[in-house]
Amino acid sequence: MTRTERTDESREARSRVVVVGGGFAGYNAARSLARAVGDTVEIVLVSPTNYFLYLPLLPEVASGVLEPRRISVSLADTLPRTVRHAQGEVDEIDLAGRSLRWMDPEGRHHTTTYDRLVLAVGSVHKLMPIPGLSEYAHGFRGIPEALYMRDHLIRQIDLATVTDDPEERRARCTFVVVGAGYTGTEVAAQGVLFTRDLARARGLGDDAVRWLLVSRGRVLSGLDEHLGTTADRVLRDRGVEVRTGDTVEEATADGVRLRDGEVVPTRTLAWCVGVRPDPLIEDVGVELAEGRVVVDATLTVPGHPEVFACGDAAAVPDPGRPGKYTAMTAQHAERQGKLAGRNVAASLAGGRLRRYRHRDLGFLVDLGSTDAAANPLHLRLSGLPAKTITRGYHLLSMPGNRLRTATDWVLDAVLGRQSTQLGLVRSASVPLDSSSPEVPHHPRMPFPPERSAGDREATGDRS
Ligand SMILES: Cc1cc2nc3c(=O)[nH]c(=O)nc-3n(C[C@H](O)[C@H](O)[C@H](O)COP(=O)(O)OP(=O)(O)OC[C@H]3O[C@@H](n4cnc5c(N)ncnc54)[C@H](O)[C@@H]3O)c2cc1C
Cα–ligand 1 centroid distance for 122 (angstroms):
5
pLDDT higher than 70, residue 449:
no
Task: Determine how β-strand 454-455 pairs with β-strand 108-113.
Answer: parallel
Task: Measure the CA–CA gap between 342 and 34, rounded to whole angstroms.
Answer: 9
* Residue to mutate (ligand 1; options 18, 19, 28, 55; most atoms within 8 A of CB): 55
The answer to whether the CB of 206 falls within 8 A of the CB of 200 is yes
Q: What is the pLDDT at residue 463?
A: 32
Task: Measure the CA–CA gap between 209 and 231, rounded to whole angstroms.
Answer: 19
Task: Measure the CA–CA gap between 431 and 127, rounded to whole angstroms.
Answer: 11
Q: What is the pLDDT at residue 444?
A: 53
Task: Measure the CA–CA gap between 291 and 91, rounded to whole angstroms.
Answer: 17
Amino acid at 360: D
Q: Is the CB of 29 under 6 A from ligand 1?
A: no
Instruction: State the chain's mean pLDDT as an integer.
Output: 90
Distances (CA, A) of 57 to 90, 177, 245: 26, 17, 27
pLDDT higher than 90, residue 148:
yes
For residue 206, what pLDDT band results from cuts at 50, 70 and 90? confident
Cα–ligand 1 centroid distance for 275 (angstroms):
10
Q: What is the pLDDT at residue 446?
A: 52
Amino acid at 43: I
Q: What is the pLDDT at residue 457?
A: 38
Task: Determine how β-strand 255-258 pairs with β-strand 263-265.
Answer: antiparallel
277-282: average pLDDT: 86
Closest ligand 1 atom to the C-alpha of 21?
Answer: 34
265-292: average pLDDT: 91
Q: Is the CB of 444 under 6 A from ligand 1?
A: yes
Q: How many CB atoms sit inside 10 A of residue 446's CB?
A: 16
287-300: average pLDDT: 96
pLDDT higher than 70, residue 7:
no
Q: Is the CB of 23 under 6 A from ligand 1?
A: yes
Distances (CA, A) of 451 to 90, 408, 431, 448, 454: 17, 37, 22, 9, 9
3-state secondary structure labels for all residues of 157-203? HHHHHHCCCHHHHHHHCEEEEECCCHHHHHHHHHHHHHHHHHHHHCC
**Bridge partners of residue 255, in order along the sequence:** 265
Domains of the chain: 3-48+88-125+276-360+442-455 (3.50.50.60), 133-273+362-425 (3.50.50.100)
